[in-house]
Structure formats: C-alpha cells, structure tokens
Amino acid sequence: MLIQDLPSRLLSWFLWTMSSSRFQRLPRSSWTRPPQVLMFLCVSVSHIPQLGMTLTWPNALASHIHHDNTTIYGSSLHLHDWQMDMMGSMVYVGSLPGYVMAGWLGRQLGRRWSMVVATMPGLLGWMLIALAHNTHMIIVGRFLSGVAMGLATVSVRIYLAEISDTEIRGAAGMIASVMLELGGLATICLSMVLPWYHLAFVVIAILLTFCILIAPCLPESPTYLAINNKDEEAHKVLVNLRGHYIDVDKEIALLKEQNKQVEGRTNWDPLLKPFVLKRILIVTGIFCISNFCGTEVIRANVTRMLQTTGMALNKDISTILVFVLSLCGNLIMVMTIDRLGRRRCLVISLALLVLAYTVLGFTIYLTHQPDHVGDKGVEFSQDAAHSQLGVGEWLPAICLMVAALAISLGVGPIPWVVSPEFFPTAIRSQAMSVCTIIGCVVAVVPLQLYSPMQVVLTQAGLYWTYACVSLLGIVFTMACVPETSRKKIW
C-alpha cells in the first residue's frame, strides 16, 4: 500500500464499515479503492462556498451590522428587519432560475461541466457583495449567489449519487452535507476576525480553486456517459471506480435498458409519467416539511434568534456551538444513514425537533415578556426576569442547539440525498430540478416572513408552529416516503 493512498483507503474503509450492516457484503476490492472516496471529497468541496458559506453569511452580516455598519469604502450601511430577512430569502429566489438551468445543463453539458458553469454567477455575485456600497448591490449579489447555489446543488448531488457504490451512496451524499456545515462553521468563525465584505473575498478564492483546479480534473459521470452511448468512456470510468469485481459491460447494458422506460419526445416529457409524478410529489413533500420546520431559518438567522431570546450566554460562542452540533450531526449521518435507512433517520430527526421546539416555545412564553412590538419585530429586554424554572437564561440556547443537531440528523440533508435516488438517470437532472424549484419557492416563505411571523404568532408561537410541522412530517414520512437505502439507482 502506498503511503499517499493511506488516508483515502482508511476513509473508504470507514465509510463502508459504518454504512454496512454486514461487513462481508462486498468483496474487499470494492471498499479499499481510493478513487471513489477522493472524488467524493473533491466534488463536495464546492458545497463549502456555494451552500455552506452562502446560506450562513447573513449571520456574519447581522453580527457586524450592530457595532460596525461600514462598507469596504467606509460608508455606512443601514438595513431594516425586512431587508435582513431578504439576505436569507433572496438566495432562494435566485436559486429558482439556477435549478431551472441545472436541469437543462445537466442533460446537455454533463455533470462535470455543469459544476464548472455553476461557479460563474457565484463569482459575480460575491464580487458585488465584497464591493457593495449600498444594500441594493448586496441584494443583487445574494440573488446571483443563489443562482450558483441552485446550479451547484443539482449537479453535485447527482454526480455523487451516480459515481458511488450502492452500499455507501447515502454516506457519499452526506459528505456534501458535511462540507456544507464546514462552510457554515468557517463563516461564523471567520466573521469573528473579518468583516462581512472580506468574507466575500474568501468565498471567491475557494470558488476559483474549485473551478480551476478541481472540477476539470474529475471524470464525467459513467451513468451519464452510458445513456448517451459513450460506452467506451463509461467502461473506463466504471473500471476505475468499481474495480474489476463487477461485470462493467453488463451494468452498462442494464442501465441503458432500464432508461428506455422513460424515453420521450423531449427531455421533459417523461416527467409526466405517473410513477415519476408520484416520486416528484413525495420529494416535494419532504422539502416542504424541511423548510417549514425551520431548517433554513436556523441556518440563516441563528444569530438573530439568539439575540432575541434574552439569554445570558455569549451570542458568538452560542452560534458557533450551534454550527458545531450541526456538523457533528452530519458526521453521525455519514456513519448511520445507510445502516438505519432514510425513513428511520427522518422520523428520529423530526421527533427530536418536536421536543426541542415545544420546550423552546414554553421557555420563552414563561420567561420573557416583550418590551415592544413594532416595525422592527419582537424585541426582548436584556434585563428580563429570571425564569420561573431557574433555567431561562440558558435553556433557549440549548434548545436551539438540539434543534440544529436534530435537523442535521435527517430532515436537513435527506431531501437532497433522496432526490437524485428517486429518478432514472435519463431524467434525473430534470426531475430533481422540478423538486428543488418547488422546495425553494416554499423556502422563501419562512425566511422572508421570519420577522412578521414573530409579530403575528409571537416568538413562542413561531416555535410551536415549527413543532406542529415536524409532527406532521413524521406522519408523512411513515405514510408516503419509500426507503431507498441499499437499492440500486438506474
């Protein structure tokens, strides 16, 4: 064994061992080959800037704007609550055209070059944010970074699903989620020493590294090559990925035969087939549950949420702890998602959310009285009375941490894991685009209405609403979501 191969071989063994219930299910050659694992890591690097830092950046802006609201030019920047809400929601508005284009690009250019194209609007958007001298430039920059996020999400998730072995496909998808959380944690940590506009330059540097040095070196997806009648190239890639322990020619022939079932006059015709429509509705339902139980609200607004709970714990430390727990949850999922299955992970995640949100709502209801309700939303006095339970100053932060952990254990990453698994290769990019478009339209609502919902429902009522949605999600998962773990995609 070569020394330079040791880290990737160890990680490959770790992924296979933790995601397999029977250690002897596969021949040794299938889980000791480094190419798959190295490709998982390389491809997932794009999720650090494209998703992790993009979705979390509003926390850095919210943290700085209260004590230093200057831009890179030294001019002042003033944002209302509704504009702060737009820092999160505008990314999802921008992701809509991104998802539409991703379906077409993935089919026409292939998975690899789609990932390269995805960095272009992101580079432009983050440059506008870095050089912004007013709020409008930031909003446009967030829109463009959202376009890049939509393009990158579809291309990366599909690529990971298509290059991985069945037994570790869930773990492969979770590596992208781990990178997402690493990007979020890096953003929070860097925001303690860098202003929000300098963070934009960091994102640009990572995007350029991925676009120039990593993506062009990756092979094309073998399943994409196979259905486009590039059998020789597909054979070569599959041998490098799977080794010689499988009949590569038989796998290619079977893949092409199965995808004939979804042929149509246009690339979008097969989406109207009944079994495809049913799968689209199921994935859309999972995305809706995920968004309305606070998944993206916590990621984009955790700093603001901690500021309005009246707690005594340090805000920055608490924010970092929330993201550390999210990262830990994703690492746990890497080890368990293929062993427990997608459905079981969803149910566990949603049950923990019901508990965390219910306790958080009652804690805020019993311990904090609003001082003022107005155009700026709900504000709480920092001198609020101590909890009748004696824990009101730290329990809100603990509940938010549990909620973040619960989200990362299922309802956050699993919609992105199952969406490429539900559909055939021939229509995977188009079907996933449709699902994520609907999901992101829904995601805009809780993000943009975060402040108004606190006014209408009160802060406690907002968390109870999230708890009710999580409870509904358990019922939906048990009744409608099929298990895809250990099932081969075609």
pLDDT averaged over the chain?
79
Does domain 31-218+263-480 correspond to CATH entry 1.20.1250.20?
Answer: yes
pLDDT bucket at 128, cuts 50 / 70 / 90: very high
Q: What is the pTM assigned to this prediction? A: 0.73
Angle between helices 169-190 and 135-163 (to 10 degrees): 150
Residue in 48, 95, 130 with CA at minimum distance from that of residue 287: 95
Tell me the one-letter amino acid at 196: W
Q: Which helix (H) or strand (E) holds 378?
A: strand 377-380
Res 184 pLDDT > 90: no
Model pLDDT for residues 204-246, shown as the tens digit of each residue: 999 999 999 998 888 888 888 888 788 788 878 878 777 666 6
CA–CA separation, 5 and 38 (whole Å): 10
Q: What is the pLDDT of residues 252-311, one digit of tens each?
A: 776 766 666 655 544 566 777 888 888 889 988 998 898 888 887 887 777 777 766 555
Asked if residue 341 lies in contact with residue 483, where contact means CB atoms within 8 angstroms, the answer is yes
pLDDT-based confidence at residue 134 (cuts at 50, 70, 90): confident
Q: For residue 245, what pLDDT is reported?
A: 65
pLDDT of residue 473: 93
The strand pairing partners of 70, in sequence order, are 76
Q: What would the pLDDT profile of 339-382 be if each residue is shown by its tens digit?
A: 888 899 999 999 999 999 999 888 888 876 544 444 444 443 33
Domain ranges within the chain, ordered by starting residue: 31-218+263-480
